[in-house]
Amino acid sequence: MARFFIDRPVFAWVVALFICLGGALAIPNLPVAQYPVIAPPSIALSTAYPGASVESLYVGTTRLIEDELNGAANIMNFESTTDSFGSVNITATFLPGTDPALASVEVQNRLKRVEARLRPRCARTASSWRRPRPRPSTSSPSSPRTGRWTRWA
């Protein structure tokens, strides 16, 4: 059988191209909706306090939000960054299978609890969160194309 294709390379290329074309045509018919969600849902929080030092931002903002997020239901981990430009970014990652809408509500409620303890200038710009892109069966109230939810306090 191998000798047949070695002797007829053009025929081998034509067969290979038909196989590739058949695979490309079959892609839209694959049952992707039946596959489990692999990437865990994550929610990003950001705040800005221009002119503040990194240390004061960490003590007065980042640590307060981290302490409040620490007991959230189904939270796997969170990652925070504070830079010298006065911005804080926190990404909370939840266990796979967690409903992103419920996780977003959980984070929003915990953020509301901590807003009273944030500095006034920081609390005004604090609390923007972003959900991951929704599945095709759900829609975002703010923008169905981008899948981002934002709110400014």
Give pLDDT tens digits for 48-93.
888 888 888 888 888 888 898 888 888 999 899 988 888 888 898 9
The Cα–Cα gap between 9 and 119 comes to 73
pLDDT of residue 78: 87
Tokens of 97: 């299978």
pLDDT of residue 15: 96
Arithmetic mean of pLDDT, 95-114 = 87
Domain annotation for the chain: domains and CATH numbers: 45-130 (3.30.70.1430)
pTM reported for the whole predicted model: 0.59
Q: Assign 120 a pLDDT band (cuts: 50, 70, 90).
A: low
The Cα–Cα gap between 9 and 127 comes to 63
The Cα–Cα gap between 5 and 101 comes to 55
Of 144, 107, 102, whose CA–CA distance to 126 is shortest? 107
Are 89 and 80 in contact, with CB atoms under 8 Å apart? yes
Q: Is 61 strand, coil or helix?
A: helix
Higher-confidence position of 62 and 18:
18
pLDDT in tens, 136-150: 433 334 434 444 444
- The residue behind tokens 């830079």 is 83
